């Protein structure tokens, strides 16, 4: 897959495999950039139960915690990538911030992929907005989850200590949690 991203091929494969296994509700992606992870999720669910993939990405000017520059120019590449990979019919781009979208949300989520604002506050906000919709035994995956200086690592430690989730796997910089059944 030749979509620009910081994801490794192993991470892309993990997202594909997770998306191919889920069977109900939908898939939510927080942070899409140019769509590499979006394509992996969409192709995975196309092989599986063909669930919709909601890509939540404002595509507004933003300097990431690691110094990356993001903005409207990435939206153009996102659309090109969805068309080129034949994922446009599976993916629904929500070009607005996570906390705004989640206020009106009601659909169950079987896979939540969090790769947006990597600050603790941003990661916590995205988790708090969406985790309540994740079905029992559903998955939450975080990118950049190993660096103690980034928000995902701290949040994962807190979430695991709550007893509501268990660590399912880790591939490169992605950690996957599974929600315990009720």
| pLDDT tens digit sequence for 23-81 | 999 999 999 999 999 999 999 999 999 999 999 999 999 888 778 889 999 999 999 99
Q: Which two tokens stand for residue 176?
A: 């996957």
Domain range list for the chain: 9-179
Q: Which two tokens stand for residue 119?
A: 């600050």
| pLDDT tens digit sequence for 114-132 | 999 999 999 999 999 999 9
Domain spanning 9-179: which superfamily?
Answer: Vaccinia Virus protein VP39 (3.40.50.150)
Tokens 């899409």 found at: 32
Rounded to whole angstroms, the Cα distance separating 40 from 98 reads 20
Can you give the pTM of this predicted structure? Answer: 0.95
The confidence score (pLDDT) of residue 5 equals 63
């Amino acid at each position: 897959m030749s979509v620009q991203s910081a994801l490794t091929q192993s991470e892309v494969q993990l997202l594909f495999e997770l998306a191919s296994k889920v069977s109900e509700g939908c898939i939510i992606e927080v942070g899409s950039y140019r769509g590499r992870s979006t394509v992996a999720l969409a192709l995975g669910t196309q092989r599986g139960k063909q669930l919709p993939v909601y890509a939540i990405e404002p595509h507004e000017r933003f300097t990431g915690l690691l110094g990356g520059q993001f903005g409207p120019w990435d939206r153009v590449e996102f659309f090109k990538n969805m068309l080129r990979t034949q994922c446009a019919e599976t993916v629904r781009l929500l070009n607005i911030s996570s906390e705004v979208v989640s206020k009106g949300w009601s659909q169950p989520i079987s896979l939540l992929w969090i790769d947006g604002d990597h600050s603790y506050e941003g990661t916590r906000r995205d988790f708090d907005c969406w985790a309540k919709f994740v079905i029992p035994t559903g998955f939450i995956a975080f990118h950049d989850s190993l660096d103690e200086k980034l928000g995902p690592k701290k949040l994962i430690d807190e979430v695991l200590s709550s007893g509501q989730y268990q660590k399912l796997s880790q591939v490169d910089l992605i950690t996957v949690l599974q929600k315990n059944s009720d």
